[in-house]
């Protein structure tokens, strides 16, 4: 019986940690906004800024962490990142003012930059080559999996209070994360393997080759800027809808429990779609797959803007279309960076692309919250963000194809 390739175990560990994080701070954060506002009397813009601060911290540190991942053992970094993450969650739970609240999100951002984004994504890019799209799609599905717990999170907040619940979640992160951190391994070559589990000398054809783009060279390439700007625009729109989904629907008169179900529908749709994107990106052009994702996101945001709160079927239609569109960003990001720039400096280059992603996270949700605070409604912000995704789709359709002279991979 053939032994299971160890890269799949790494992927499984990454999925669990990613899902846990997203259930709290990505999809689940929308369930915390209204209770937090009730506790402190803070505005939606102030609370949305907390999510942006976490993204800002993560994005700012990603280039630095990327360099660390290219040089330091993955297990050591994972253990450090998980402990920092849990500490940040506890800090948020104990906050009594905005400064302490934001400081907690800074700590969480530091921990997640290490243990949720850069280390798992970089390690998976090293352990998979032919199956990079599939692996990235499955990992991204784990990210979306966290959204399925939003209805449970709403009930837990109502039962225990959001502050007590965060303490429990911090302990849970340590219980899960510390053992899982020991699963991570930096490179398959250290164990006499090549990506996808092939033994040295067994790989023939294009799969036996790779290339490495220098960091300075990457910064001069049009593709780097096209990918970065597209990520900024796409993530800016996605994060705004995700953070404000429940506040927006409840502002239209929908019950919180019904709005939470909408998050679950969107998440379930995304789980399947992310895997499909990953599989198809191993077959078709990654830039065209990303363009398709942006086009569907545009349609989803427009439908979102037309919801009147009286028809749950309208909400379901949005959740499905937006879920399929949004699903493409995460599983395609790592493969397209690997395709254009190679693996040797992957951590550093991916970290630089993450600066654009961070910018989208930072500017998106607070602007939507500010519009609501000023106008009392979210119009016309959803139309503006649909314009963002149209620009991103255009960039992907006009980006030059990846074309590099291949050179053998060093083992």
Q: Which residue has the tokens 């906050």?
A: 95
Confidence (pLDDT) at 131: 85
The answer to whether residue 331 is domain-embedded is: yes
Q: What CATH number does the domain containing 162 carry?
A: 1.20.1250.20
Please, are residues 196 and 409 in contact by the beta-carbon 8 Å criterion? no
Choose the weakest-confidence range: 8-17, 263-272, 297-306: 263-272
Task: Answer positive or negative: Cα dihedral of 24, 26, 28, 34.
Answer: positive
Confidence (pLDDT) at 297: 95
Contacts of 295 (CB under 8 A, 6+ apart): 325, 389, 393
Pick the most confident of 110-124, 269-283, 324-338, 381-395.
Answer: 381-395
The answer to whether residue 289 is domain-embedded is: yes
Angstrom distances, CA of residue 370 to CA of 47, 203, 401: 11, 55, 39
In terms of C-beta density within 10 A (0-12 exposed, 13-18 middle, 19 or more buried), how is residue 208 classed?
middle
Name the more confident of 124 and 42: 124
Choose the weakest-confidence range: 119-133, 236-250, 293-307, 358-372: 358-372
Contacts of 201 (CB under 8 A, 6+ apart): none
The answer to whether residue 157 is domain-embedded is: yes
DSSP letter string, 177-203 = HHHHHTT--S-GGGGT--GGGPPTT--
Mean pLDDT of 1-13: 85
The answer to whether residue 54 is domain-embedded is: yes
Q: What is the mean pLDDT of the chain?
A: 84
The answer to whether residue 409 is domain-embedded is: no
Mean pLDDT of 62-68: 77
Residue 343 above 90 pLDDT?
Answer: no
Pick the most confident of 140-149, 212-221, 318-327.
Answer: 318-327
The string of pLDDT tens digits covering residues 199-208 is 655 554 444 4
Indicate the number of domains in the chain.
Answer: 1
- Range of the structural domain that residue 306 is part of: 6-190+213-401
- Give the percent of the chain with pLDDT over 70: 91
Confidence (pLDDT) at 408: 39
Cα gap 165→159, rounded to integer Å? 9
The answer to whether residue 407 is domain-embedded is: no
Expressed in angstroms, the distance from the first to the final Cα of the chain is 26
Confidence (pLDDT) at 82: 95
The answer to whether residue 196 is domain-embedded is: no
Residue 210 bridge partners (DSSP): 407
Please, are residues 55 and 232 in contact by the beta-carbon 8 Å criterion? no
Confidence (pLDDT) at 59: 60
Confidence (pLDDT) at 406: 38
The answer to whether residue 205 is domain-embedded is: no
Mean pLDDT of 362-389: 86
Confidence (pLDDT) at 23: 87
Mean pLDDT of 28-38: 84
Mean pLDDT of 307-328: 86
Mean pLDDT of 256-266: 79
């Amino acid at each position: 019986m053939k032994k299971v390739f160890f890269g799949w175990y790494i992927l499984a560990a990454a999925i669990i940690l990613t899902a846990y994080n997203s259930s709290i701070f990505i999809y689940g954060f929308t369930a915390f906004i209204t209770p937090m506002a009730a506790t402190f009397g803070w505005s939606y813009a102030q609370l949305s800024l907390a999510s942006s601060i976490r993204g800002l911290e993560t994005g700012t540190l990603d280039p630095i962490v990327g360099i660390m991942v290219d040089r330091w053992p993955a297990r050591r970094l994972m253990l450090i990142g998980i402990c920092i993450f849990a500490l940040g969650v506890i800090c948020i739970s104990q906050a009594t003012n905005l400064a302490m609240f934001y400081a907690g999100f800074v700590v969480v951002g530091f921990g997640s930059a290490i243990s949720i984004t850069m280390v798992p994504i970089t390690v998976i890019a090293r352990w998979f080559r032919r199956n990079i799209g599939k692996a990235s799609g499955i990992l991204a599905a784990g990210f979306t999996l966290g959204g399925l717990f939003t209805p449970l999170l709403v009930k837990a907040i109502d039962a225990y209070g959001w502050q007590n619940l965060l303490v429990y979640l911090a302990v849970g992160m340590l219980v899960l994360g510390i053992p899982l951190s020991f699963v991570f391994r930096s490179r398959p070559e250290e164990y006499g393997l090549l990506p996808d589990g092939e033994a040295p000398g067994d790989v023939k054809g294009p799969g036996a080759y790779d290339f490495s783009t220098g960091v300075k060279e990457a910064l001069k390439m049009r593709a780097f800027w096209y990918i970065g700007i597209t990520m900024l625009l796409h993530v800016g729109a996605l994060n705004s809808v995700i953070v404000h989904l429940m506040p927006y629907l409840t502002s239209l008169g929908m019950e919180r429990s019904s709005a939470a179900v909408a998050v679950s529908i969107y998440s379930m749709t995304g789980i399947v779609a992310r895997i499909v994107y990953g599989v198809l990106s191993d077959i078709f052009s990654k830039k065209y797959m990303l363009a398709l994702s942006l086009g569907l996101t545009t349609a989803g945001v427009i439908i979102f803007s037309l919801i009147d709160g009286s028809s749950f079927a309208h909400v379901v239609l949005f959740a499905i279309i937006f879920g399929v569109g949004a699903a493409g960003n995460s599983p395609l990001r790592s493969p397209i960076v690997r395709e254009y720039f190679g693996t040797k400096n992957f951590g550093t280059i991916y970290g630089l692309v993450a600066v654009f992603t961070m910018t989208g996270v930072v500017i998106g949700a607070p602007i939507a919250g500010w519009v609501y605070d000023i106008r009392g409604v979210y119009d016309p912000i959803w139309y503006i963000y649909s314009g963002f995704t149209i620009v991103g789709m255009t960039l992907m359709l006009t980006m030059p194809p990846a074309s590099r002279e291949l050179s053998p991979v060093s083992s």
